[in-house]
Chains A and B, each alone.
Chain A
Amino acid sequence: MNWIKKNKFGLALLAPSIIILFIVSIFPMIYTVYISFFDFFLPRPNQKYFIGFENYIEILQDEMFWVAMKNTAIFMVSTIGLQFIFGLGLAILFYNEFRGNSVKALYLPLILLPMMVAPVVVGYIFRLLYLTEWGPLNYLLDFIGLGPYSWTASSSTALFSLVLADVWQWTPFVTLVLLTGILSISTELFEAADLDGASLWQKVRYIILPLITRVIAVVVLIRMLDSLRELDKVYILTQGGPGTSTTLVTFWSYLNGFKYFKVGYAAAMSIILLIITIAIASRMAKVLDKEED
C-alpha cells in the first residue's frame, strides 16, 4: 500500500499502457485458456460444454497435429539454417567490401526490400514463380536444361518451395542484424588478424562467430518464433498440400479455429504452441546466460 502511495505518479503514467495491454493481450490470453476447456462450436454459440482437458488430450492424439509439428520443425530448421548461412555471408560481404564506400553501400537498402514486402504478397509472387507450366522459374530451369519441377505440386518439393520463399524474404533481416553485430567488433582485432596472415575463414571462426554469439542467439530466436507462426505463405501457396506435406501447425490451428469453428480445440492448440514457444525462448535465454558466464 505504502509502495503504491509512494509511486502514485509513476503508476498513473503507466496505467493507460497497462489497461491497453490488459484489453488486447492479457484478457484474450486468459479467455483463450478458459475457452480451451470447452467444447465450443461457433455456429451454435449457446451450446458450450465444459470438457476439462479433453481438447488437449485429443490434440496430442491427433495424427494431423503431429504431422503439422513435424513439418513445422523441418520448416523452422531449414529456413533458419539457410537464412543464417546466407545472412552471415552477406553480412561479411557488406562489412568487407562495402564499408566506407557510399556507392556500394547503396546495395544494402536494396537487398532489404524483400523483408518490406507483405508476406501475403510474397506468397502471390512465388505462386506465379512456381507455376509448373507457365512459371518463369521453370522457364529458366528448362532453358538451361535443369527443369521443369513441380515446385508446389509435388509433396517432395512443396515444403522446400515454402522454405525458399521464406529464405528469400527474411535473409535480409538476418543479414542486417548480423552486420550490426560484426560492426560492433573492434577493428583492431581484424587488423591484428590481418598482420598474422589469418584467412577469411579463420577470422570468421575465431573472431566473428565467438564475438557475435548473443546477436546470433537473438536473431535465431526471433526467426524461430516467426517460423512457428508462419501462415500467410502456406495459405497462399499450398493450402497445406499436396497431401499434408506443407500443413504447418499454425495453419492446422487456423483451420480448426476459423474454418471448422472448433473454438475450444483451436484455443487448446494455441496454448500448446504458447508452451512450446516459451520453452524454446527460455532454453535460448539459458544458453545466452551460460555464454555470458
Chain B
Amino acid sequence: MKKLFVIFLFSFFCFGNAVNAKPEQRPTFDNVTVTAALHSGPFVNAWTPHIKRIKELYGINLELVGVPVNELYDKSILELSMGTGAFDIVQYNPGWVGDYIDFILPLDEYMERWDIGWDDIHEGFRVWENTYGGVRTSITMDGDVMIFYYNKNMFEDPEEMANFKSTYGYDLAPPKNYDEVLDIQKHFRRDTDGDGNIDQAGYSDPIIKRGRGQYPYLIRLFAYQKEAGITPNYMDPETMEPLINSKEGILALENYVETVANGVPGMLQWEWSEAHTCFMTGKCASLIHWPDEGLMTSAFTANTGSPMGFADVPSNANMTMGGWVAGITKTSKNPEAAYMVLDYILGPDVSTNVVLYPGGGTDLFRQSHFDSAVVKMIAPQEYLDYYQSAVGNIVGELRIPGGFEYYDSLDIQVQKALAGESTAKEALDKAAKNWKKITKRLGADRQKEMYAAAMGL
C-alpha cells in the first residue's frame, strides 16, 4: 500500500512535469482543429488530459472521437475510402496497414523537420509497426508484445517439481517450446475443490475466442518454423504460397487444439480478460499475455501469495498480436498540426505519462520508458529485461491489403479445429485455399510486392 502511494505521488509529480514539458521550435497555429479517431475508453482517457496543454502550446483544438475497438477498422476505412476528411489522425492496428497505406501520409518529411524521438522508439516497433516498405508511416501508441508469465510458487514447489520430473522426464521450468507448454498444461490441470469440475489450468493462451483466435496459432507456427530452422513467414515470399498448412503449421495447430482441450471448461470463449483473471487469481499456473501483468506484480502477489515469474515466449518467436499505432490521414486539412499532436503526446517527454496513465491500457514502447525511474519503481527489472528482449524477437503482422480477411478466414478454420469440427490438417488446408483465393482476388503481384514491404524483405 505504501509502495503504491509512493508510486502514485511520483507518477503525479511526473505527470505534472510531462504536461508542462515544452517542445522546442515547434510551429503554432491559429485555432486549428485536429480530429483524432481513437479506441474509445483507454486511449481517449489517456489523451484527454493533454487537450488543454496542446491548445496552450500550439493553438490546436484537439477533438477526440472515441470509436469502439471492434468498429475502429470498419469506421476508419469507410471514412478514409470515401474521402470524407472526418479524421486527421487515425489509430490502427499495424496489421491493417495494407488497407490503410493508400490513405495515410508518409511521415518522413515531418520527422526530419521535427524529430519525434524516433531513435528512442524501440527498434522492434520501429521496424514492425512504424515502417512500411522503408517509409515511416506511423508512431507506436502501445508497445504490445508477448511475455510468458508464471506463478513462481506453483513452479518452484518441490512436490510439483518432483511429480513433473517423474511424469515428463525433465525439470519443471518456463517452457522452451510449445510441447513443453502442453506438458505444463496437463500437469497443473486439476479439480482443486473436489467438486468434480476442473477449475485449475496449467496455462492459458492470451485469446482463444472467435475474433482473434488465430494469434495463438500463428505464434506457435513461427515457433515451430524457427525450431525447424525456417525463417518465420506467413507465405512463401517468392510464390505467395501459404505456409499455414505446412508441416510446422499442422504441428502448431495440433498443439494449440490439445492445449485448449486440456484447459478448464469454457476456455474456448476466453478473451483478454478471462485469461488475465485466471492467471491473476492463481487459477492458471502460467500465461502468455501482453505486457500489462508485469505492472501488476503487487496485485498478483496479494491475490495468490506468490511472486510473478517472467520468461521469453517459447522459441523466442514473438508477436505484437495487435498493438496500436497512429497515423495522419491524406485528407487531413492540417497535417502539420496533426503531426504536432502526435509529436506532443507520443514524443519522449509526455508519452511516459501516457503509457502509465491509470486505465490507459497502453504499454511501454520507448527506450526512455524502460529507463524511466517511475517505471522501474513499478515494474521488476527482470520483467523489463524480458520485455525488451521480446520486442527484439517480433515477427511482424500480416501487413498486406486484405490483412483482416486473411486473419479472419484463418480464425474461422482454427476455431473449427478447436471446436472439434475438423482436424488440424483439414482446417489449415481450407484456410490455405481461402488465402490463395484472397491473394488472387486482390492481385497476386501487388500482394507479393506488399508482402515484401511488410516483412522487410
Contact = CB atoms under 8 A, between A and B. Distances in A.
Interface string B217-241: 0000000000000000000000000
Interface in A56-88: 63-64
Interface string A217-255: 000000000000000000000111111110100000001
9 contacts: A41-B441, A42-B77, A43-B99, A133-B266, A155-B419, A241-B209, A244-B415, A260-B408, A261-B99
B110 interface: no
Tell me the interface secondary structure of chain A in the complex. Answer: loop
Given A39-B441, A43-B401, A240-B210, A131 B266 contact: yes
A119 interface: no
A202 interface: no
A131 B270 CA distance: 10
Interface of A: 39, 41-45, 63-64, 131-133, 142, 148, 150, 152-155, 238-245, 247, 255, 258-262
Contacts of A43: 77, 80-81, 99-100, 102-103, 401
Given A259-B74, A259-B408, A153 B416 contact: no
Nearest to A243: B419
Nearest to A41: B442
B157 to A, nearest CB: 24
Nearest to A47: B443
Interface in B370-428: 401-402, 404-405, 408, 412, 415-416, 418-421
A44 B441 CA distance: 12
Interface string B183-221: 000000000000101010000000001110100000000
Contacts of B40: none
A153 B404 contact: no
Chain B: interface size category: 35 or more
B265 A148 contact: yes
B267 interface: yes
B267 A153 contact: yes
Nearest to A132: B266
Contact of B408 (A41, A63, A255): A255
Contact of B197 (A131, A148, A153, A241): A148
B58 interface: no
B78 interface: yes
Nearest to A254: B74
Nearest to B70: A235
Given A132-B265, A150-B266, A259-B408, A241 B81 contact: no
A238 B415 CA distance: 12
Given A43-B81, A142-B197, A260-B405, 19 more contacts: A41-B401, A42-B81, A63-B430, A132-B264, A133-B266, A150-B265, A153-B265, A153-B267, A153-B269, A241-B269, A242-B418, A243-B415, A243-B416, A244-B412, A244-B416, A259-B73, A259-B405, A260-B404, A260-B408
Contact of A245 (B265, B405, B419): B419
Contact of B268 (A241, A247, A259): A241
Contacts of A142: 195, 197
B82 interface: yes
Given A258-B74, A259-B408, A260-B404, A242 B419 contact: yes
A238 B210 contact: yes
B120 to A, nearest CB: 32
